[in-house]
Amino acid sequence: MPDDILGGIVKRAQATIGDGTDMALVVGGAAGAEAVLEVVRSWFPDQTADITDEVLAIIAGGLLWYYGERLHERLVPVGFGVAVVGAAGWSEEWVSGIISMLEKKEV
């Protein structure tokens, strides 16, 4: 089951970036993730009060990624960029810890 879920996410990510415009919109979504969070928090202050920025970016970006085409097809790559920023922020401490193990040690 988890492999099916991950496989579906990978297939959707592959289908998200079809041209240069899509790639630019993914980058734009990543760059504008904080602004998206401000908009979401302004509309739902009580509901989002206890949610971290990283988790909220994953949720908001994921919703735009999966359902954004209902408003405009170009929202899909924007949502993907927002979700990637959320996932990166959520895993930053763990990944940074692993990478820092590669630092050259003074002898």
Q: What is the dihedral of CA 92, 93, 95, 97, to 10 degrees?
A: 150
* Amino acid 7: pLDDT: 81
- The C-alpha atoms of residue 81 and residue 3 are separated, in whole angstroms, by 23
* Amino acid 9: pLDDT: 85
* Amino acid 2: pLDDT: 66
* Amino acid 1: pLDDT: 62
In terms of C-beta density within 10 A (0-12 exposed, 13-18 middle, 19 or more buried), how is residue 62 classed? middle
* Amino acid 44: pLDDT: 97
Q: Give the model confidence (pLDDT) of 28-67 as tens digits.
A: 999 999 999 999 999 999 999 999 999 999 999 999 999 9
Q: What is the mean pLDDT of the chain?
A: 93
Q: Which residue has the higher pLDDT, 64 or 5?
A: 64
What is the arithmetic mean of pLDDT over 60-82? Answer: 95
- Taking Cα atoms as reference points, which of 65, 103, 99 lies closest to residue 82? 65
